[in-house]
Amino acid sequence: MAGRLPGPTIRVRVDDTVEALPRNREDSWMAHNVDFLAATGTGGGAEATTAYPGETKVLRFKALNPGLFVYHCAVSSVALHISNGM
């Protein structure tokens, strides 16, 4: 996803298993993560995907609900991260 603003549209179908591998670049200044509003659970996977500079995390979830959902970085300050395209 690096280098794209906004990030790509991810199209899945109900009952698909989504696997995300967010990677935080080594030259990053801070941790980043992904809050998939489509994922049920605390923070939509934000805690599980919190990656410090140089780390890559893995999150798998099953798409249970039809709809249109956004995803964004949920590291504090969330507004700062979202306004910078995350």
- The residue ranges that bind Cu ion (CB under 5 A) are 32, 73, 75, 81, 86
Q: What is the number of the residue whose Cβ is closest to Cu ion?
A: 73
d(CA 55, CA 68): 29
Element holding 61 (H helix, E strand): strand 59-62
Measured from the CB atom, is 4 or 11 closer to Cu ion?
Answer: 4
Shortest Å, Cβ 81 to Cu ion: 4
Output 20 or 86, the one with its CB closest to Cu ion.
86
Cite the DSSP H helix spans in the chain. 78-83
Please give the structure tokens belonging to residue 85: 């395209």
Q: Between 13 and 29, name the residue whose CB sits nearer to Cu ion.
A: 29
